[in-house]
């Protein structure tokens, strides 16, 4: 494995991608687990499929279309939720379905042979390019800077939304910022584990960390550390056994969660 990292560019990209992904999933995952926005985040992730299909149909980079659709979904959900009685869960389900349906429709209209969507649906860390690395780096910087710049505001907002509003924090603005950060993060991670599996990678490490830590800062740090272990271990297994990396990373994560759950009950 070490020789492969030294000698092959694709392995170097994979390792760098795993590090950046662990930071993103550690931060965003900890937040959405605390806010109980897991299904909402999954809806945003699936809606991005429409943008991928649009990219193929109009012959531009699909990941840019994914950014467009996921950001639109992240803006529509809170806006419509506040102005109607539909409910965020119902809106999430509709946008989830709409994004997937539009993606399938756009791909059907794409000239020539239909593209292979496997890497977008299930991911492959071994095929991420330098362009993917740059996108992940930019998104990681945005997410990390936003969290650190308003860290105390985020803690108040996550643990007591009403108290945060009373002390003058603009909770509606925080909602929109968080939706936006979720949107760009899930798209940045698509090539790693794919749309179908992305929420598992974002929620399993913080769910394990919550067994053993109470503070928000430790939750983030431990989630980053666990995410890195799972990603590198899944990468190693997929490399040696030539199996899908995204699925391998998620299976490793779930096995770790089950073991952690039994250890927690035994303590």
Q: Decide if 126 contacts 238 (C-beta within 8 A).
A: yes
- Give residue-wise pLDDT tens across range 134-186: 999 999 999 999 998 888 888 888 887 777 778 888 888 888 899 999 999 99
Q: Does residue 267 sit within a domain?
A: no
What is the C-alpha separation between 154 and 35, in angstroms, rounded?
A: 11
Q: Does residue 104 sit within a domain?
A: yes
What is the C-alpha separation between 81 and 78, in angstroms, rounded?
A: 5
**Tokens at residue 164, please?**
């945060």
**Tokens at residue 92, please?**
């999430």
Q: Does residue 114 sit within a domain?
A: yes
Domain that holds residue 147: 2-261
Q: What is the CATH number of the domain that holds 156?
A: 1.10.3470.10
How remote is the C-alpha of 122 from its chain's centroid?
A: 13
- Give residue-wise pLDDT tens across range 38-59: 888 888 888 999 999 999 999 9
Tell me the whole-structure pTM to 2 decimals: 0.89
Torsion from C-alpha of 217, 222, 225, 229, nearest 10 degrees: -160
Q: Does residue 140 sit within a domain?
A: yes
pLDDT-based confidence at residue 243 (cuts at 50, 70, 90): confident
Q: How many domains does the chain have?
A: 1
Helix (H, G, I), strand (E, B) or coil at 114: coil
Q: Does residue 126 sit within a domain?
A: yes
If we measure between CA atoms, which residue out of 219, 196, 192 comes closest to residue 208? Answer: 219
Q: Does residue 266 sit within a domain?
A: no
- Give residue-wise pLDDT tens across range 81-133: 677 666 667 777 888 889 999 999 999 998 878 787 888 888 888 888 899 89
Q: Decide if 38 contacts 28 (C-beta within 8 A).
A: no
């Amino acid at each position: 494995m070490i020789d492969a990292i030294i000698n092959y560019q694709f392995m170097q990209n994979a390792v760098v991608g795993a590090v950046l992904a662990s930071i993103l999933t550690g931060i965003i995952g900890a937040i959405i687990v605390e806010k109980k926005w897991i299904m909402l985040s999954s809806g945003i992730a699936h809606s991005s499929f429409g943008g991928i299909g649009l990219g193929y149909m109009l012959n531009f980079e699909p990941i840019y279309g994914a950014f467009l659709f996921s950001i639109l979904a992240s803006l529509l959900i809170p806006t419509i939720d506040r102005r109607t009685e539909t409910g965020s869960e119902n809106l999430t389900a509709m946008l989830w379905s709409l994004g997937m349906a539009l993606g399938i429709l756009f791909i059907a209209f794409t000239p020539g042979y239909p593209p292979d969507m496997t890497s977008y649906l299930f991911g492959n860390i071994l095929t991420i390019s330098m362009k993917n690395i740059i996108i992940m780096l930019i998104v990681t910087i945005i997410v990390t800077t936003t969290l650190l710049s308003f860290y105390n505001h985020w803690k108040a907002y996550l643990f007591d939304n009403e108290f945060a509003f009373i002390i003058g924090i603009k909770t509606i603005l925080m909602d929109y910022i968080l939706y936006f950060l979720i949107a760009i993060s899930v798209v940045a991670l698509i090539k790693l584990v794919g749309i179908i599996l992305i929420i598992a990678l974002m929620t399993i490490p913080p769910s394990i960390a919550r067994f053993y830590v109470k503070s928000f800062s430790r939750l983030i740090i431990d989630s980053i550390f666990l995410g890195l272990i799972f990603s590198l271990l899944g990468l190693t297994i997929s490399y040696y056994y030539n199996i899908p990396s995204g699925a391998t990373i998620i299976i490793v994560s779930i096995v770790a969660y089950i073991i952690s759950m039994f250890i927690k009950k035994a303590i």
